[in-house]
Amino acid sequence: MRPSVRLWLASLYLFIMGTISLAYTLVELLLGIMYSSLLVTSDAFHGFIDAAIAYVSGFGLYYASKRGRSFPWEIYRLESLLTLLSAFVVLGFYTYMLVTSIRFDSEPTPLWMTTLLLIGGALTYLMYLWERRNYDMLKLEILRADALHAKIDAALSIASTIAVVISNMFHLIVAEVIAIIVIYGYVIYELARLSKEAMYGILGALYRDPVLEEKIREILIELGKPLVVKIRRAGSFLVVYSLVAVSSDMTVGKLHMLRTRAIKAISRTHPLIVHVDVKIVPRRYKRIEKSRYA
């Protein structure tokens, strides 16, 4: 399957899952507010984060599938910046809501609302199974990470359901408060992870993958001797920089042909590679140029 097709399919999956999550979250939020259930409302806010992540990732993969030679790959850093800003906004609003709303003398969440939590958990688990299956087919790390996230979300829904049952049976509202704090803690962890990845994307941090680097070096051998191979992040995507020492008697025509072939081959090694830069130097100058490039 061509990388562009794999990216398009992955973006479609993420759009569908984001839409399902958003629609259900809106219903959950409305009922949580109507019945004054902070636990259900917190679960809804968590759902908004899930939907936002799915949409941002989906748009990124979609544009990656449509990119051409003239596409400004630096725009992928904007995706990371938006993710970082969104994380701070969501965390600030969610924190304010909890600080001003948590009460130990409130009424327990109506028992029937456990149905909402269980349905939400079931939908999330179905998404986990779907994403795991799609990861096996498409081999995109973003799907594997999202599948793990969905699995944890399903477990949180079950824990929240148990908290509501305990709260109603023993009139212990503290059980719901504990569940809310656990959800809040997980949201902080999730946003911290997203923020870290977003900063990596903005700063263009190195992406460590020895297997991928070795594949790139094997491709470049046809052109000459690979001196430097670096893979950097550009948002959620990857940019490859390489320096190759070539024979000084190679013709310009052959050099251009082999370089073009190498760039195309490297682009196909990973679906998230959006730009490949292959610089060349005569083999006799490789020591000087390598020190400048490193």
Residue that wins the pLDDT comparison between 6 and 239: 239
CATH superfamily of 210-293: Cation efflux protein, cytoplasmic domain (3.30.70.1350)
Model pLDDT, residue 17: 80
Q: What is the pLDDT of residues 225-275, one digit of tens each?
A: 999 999 998 876 788 999 999 988 888 899 999 999 999 999 888 877 878
In whole angstroms, what is the distance from residue 156 CA to residue 154 CA? 5
Report which of 65, 52, 98, 69 is spatially closest to residue 194, judged by C-alpha positions: 52
Weakest mean pLDDT among 26-40, 90-104, 230-244, 250-264:
90-104
Model pLDDT, residue 137: 58
In whole angstroms, what is the distance from residue 246 CA to residue 223 CA? 7
Segment (H or E) for 198: helix 173-203
> Which residue's structure tokens are 């073009």?
260
287 Cβ contact list (under 8 Å, min separation 6): none
- Output the six-digit token pair for 243: 């320096």
83 Cβ contact list (under 8 Å, min separation 6): 56, 194, 195, 197, 198
The answer to whether the CB of 243 falls within 8 A of the CB of 219 is no
In whole angstroms, what is the distance from residue 244 CA to residue 248 CA? 12
Residue that wins the pLDDT comparison between 7 and 257: 257
Model pLDDT, residue 54: 75
In whole angstroms, what is the distance from residue 278 CA to residue 207 CA? 17
With bands split at pLDDT 50, 70 and 90, how would you rate the model's confidence at 288?
Answer: very low
Model pLDDT, residue 40: 87
> Which residue's structure tokens are 């908290």?
163
In whole angstroms, what is the distance from residue 293 CA to residue 228 CA? 8
Q: What is the pLDDT of residues 168-217, one digit of tens each?
A: 998 888 998 898 888 888 878 877 877 787 788 778 889 888 999 999 99
CA dihedral 204, 209, 211, 213 (to 10 degrees): 30
Per the prediction, the chain carries an average pLDDT of 79
Segment (H or E) for 293: helix 286-293
